[in-house]
Structure 1
Amino acid sequence: MERISPRPIAGEREMLREALDFHRATLAMKCDGLSDEDLRRQSSPPSTLSLLGLVRHMAEVERAWFRRTVNGEDIALVWSDAGDFQVAYDASTSTRAEAFAAWEAEVDQARRIEREADSLDLTVYAARWETDITLRTVMLHMIHEYARHNGHADFLREAIDGTTGI
């Protein structure tokens, strides 16, 4: 996944799309060149957070917001039928191939759903928030979600091999 900086001047939809893709690519870059064992390495106890856990978590988040909420698909999450996103953080038996395949598939579906929507004003009911929201809100929420977790990924990657500033 190539990381391209968002253009400083573009339409609203393009800016949101590019910012979200930039953050998606940042997570992938934080994991680049690491072994499955490195990717499963947990952060400071008692946290079980790992880079692979973040990838799994973001697969769940992509699915929940784009496929289940925006597109109204009645499907289970990738790793949890109960809707507990925290289950995805347990990557102790997961592999890079498994986690990235799931995440990349969900990103592809999210991109398709966003591109097929007529407008950022598409309004859907978000059961989790118990209110109507727009596609714009979902995209902004996803940017925030990735930005927060990419901060975690910075620390995780630095603890593994000292790499900073990707």
Structure 2
Amino acid sequence: MTADERSEPAITAAERPMLEGWLAYHRDTLALKCAGLTDAQLRETSVPPSQLSLLGLVRHMSEVERHWFRNVMAGEEAKSLYCTAEDEDGDFHPTEADTWEEAGTTWRAEIDAAREIAAKHGLDDLSIGRSRKGEHFNLRWIYTHMIEEYARHNGHADLVRERIDGATGD
């Protein structure tokens, strides 16, 4: 993917297309940050003591998509993909055996599942899952949170990618 292949979010869209446009833009941005790298490069960490890598970020966002759309919005009980009781941050700890092929495929599948779930709901529809305080989330809140989550991690991805090969940009 190149920066030119990303769809810029519309600047005059209605609320839902605007939210979906920004979420798609940020998903594409993470894919762009990973494009053209080897599995070894995708596993490279930023700077000690951080264990942050591009592959770890993609795995993390798979977990985040799964949690907010499948578990919270739809009320599924989808188990964690990479995190375990022994390693609660397992998504951020890829091993030499972990590949872009698996992580990218899993991430895209979770995005597809998120889109299917969201398509069944209006922005004001409440989640089945609840917050720690017992409150339901509306889809609007979940979209906004996902945009924030991607934007934050895309900032991390910018720095990791620059460290790997000097590539900068949005």
Whether TM exceeds 0.5 here: the answer is: yes
Task: Find the partner of 1:108 among 97, 105, 112.
Answer: 112
1:67 aligns with 2:70: yes
Task: Find the partner of 1:88 among 66, 70, 91.
Answer: 91
1-structure distance, mates of 2:52, 2:33:
14
Most deviating of 12-21 and 1-10: 1-10
| 1:20 maps to amino acid | L
1:29 aligns with 2:36: no
Task: Find the partner of 2:148 among 125, 141, 144.
Answer: 144
Identity of aligned residues (%): 50
| 1:35 maps to amino acid | T
Identify if the C-alpha distance between structure 1 residues 105 and 85 changes in structure 2 by more than 3 Å, giving closer, same or farther: farther
- Give the deviation of 1:103 after TM superposition: 0.3
Matched pairs, number: 164
> What TM-score does the superposition give when structure 2 sets the normalisation length?
0.91
Gaps of 5+ in 1: none
Residues 19-73 of structure 1: CA deviation (Å, up to 9, x unaligned): 0000000000000000000000011111111000000000000000000100111
Identify if the C-alpha distance between structure 1 residues 105 and 129 changes in structure 2 by more than 3 Å, giving closer, same or farther: farther
Gaps of 5+ in 2: none
| 2:117 maps to amino acid | I
| 1:24 maps to amino acid | R
Root-mean-square deviation over aligned CA pairs: 1.5
| 2:138 maps to amino acid | T
